[in-house]
Amino acid sequence: MRTTTLGSDGPDVGVIGLGCMGMTASYDLETPRDDATSIAVIHQALDMGMTLIDTADAYGPFTNEELVGKALAGGYRERAVLATKVGLVMGDTGAQVGPGTASPGAGRNGRPEHVRESIDSSLRRLNTDHVELYQLHRVDPEVPIEETWGAMAEAVAAGKALHIGLSEVTVGEIRRAQTVHPVTSVQSELSLWTRDVLAEVLPFCKEEGIALIPFSPLGRGFLTGRFSSFDDLPQDDFRRQLPRFQQDAIRANLAIVARVREVAERAGVTPAQVALAWVLAQGTLVVPIPGTKTPKYLEDNAAAAGVELNAAQMAELDALPPPEGTRY
């Protein structure tokens, strides 16, 4: 796979990475975890050059980091650009955490002491002495971002993290963090049906040499055409809580999927590859991390790195209507 740099001063990574959340949390909870297959998928991703491996302490919680730590044992660790996160925490409900604080039981904790404790716990679960990228999962509105970011900068000074990044932030929050320590990356949702960051955040990141790491670049799987109704979602699937996946919204949003499929058929590729190619076309600093726990889908995603959309195809995709329903 071709490579790019994670921001202006970060490590080289494959242009597509791997999001690991779904291996232990949020999606299709009825299906038993298959750690052996998930570990094989992580190994396969590294073999194909998808070197950015993304996890978080909140996923599970904690179980995702443990799984990734097992997968990277031995020689695999030195081949990975390992990223984890802090700041999104679970309450006492025991509920699974999803990508935002709309999930039952999820809250935010940006206190410096929490950051200091969490990096050590994450490194222990990941079975490593450092991560390449440590990210603030969500800004805590009760704690000045400068204080949280200062504690994360301490992790860099101590060699526990080589770089630090933010997630789901405004340009103003990025600017405030930069007064304390350089921001290497910003992780935010970006896909053909979630384009908010294109207005301000991505242009600012390009100006500042900050990487954008899009999560859910396949619209949480919807843009692949796998779901045609609410009933297609497993009973305990996190997406059943999201407005865009409610029955009326799905009916309306299928029109978006149909047009993506038309572009894919004419190009001789899959809808997932079209969706990822559109994200990649937003710039060399953009490194999407589609999540999967299936070898077949991993191969499909990786192949998107070789898909180049022409001007007419990009214009057609850019003209897609906004989705029905909010993100959360």
* Residues tagged active-site: 59
Report the C-alpha gap between 223 and 275 in whole angstroms.
Answer: 7
Report the C-alpha gap between 328 and 314 in whole angstroms.
Answer: 27
Within 13 A of 60's CA, how many CA atoms are on the CB side?
A: 18
45 within 8 A of 298, measured Cβ to Cβ: yes
Exposure class string for 91-129: b at 16+ Cβ within 10 A, else e: eeeeebbbbbbebeebebbbbeebbbebbeebbebbebe
Report the C-alpha gap between 80 and 35 in whole angstroms.
Answer: 18
CA distances from 49 to 19, 21, 73, 95 (A): 14, 19, 18, 34
Give the Cβ contact number of residue 72 at 10 Å. 22
273 within 8 A of 300, measured Cβ to Cβ: yes
Tokens of 322: 């906004």
Q: State the DSSP H helix or E strand holding residue 63, giving kind and residue range, or none if neither.
A: helix 63-71
Report the C-alpha gap between 228 and 257 in whole angstroms.
Answer: 10
Long-range contacts for 195-204 (Cβ within 8 Å, ≥24 apart)? 198/282, 200/170, 200/171, 201/169, 201/170, 201/171, 201/174, 202/282, 202/283, 202/286, 204/171, 204/174
Tell me the Cα Rg of the chain: 18
Nearest alpha-carbon partner for 44 in 66, 26, 23: 23
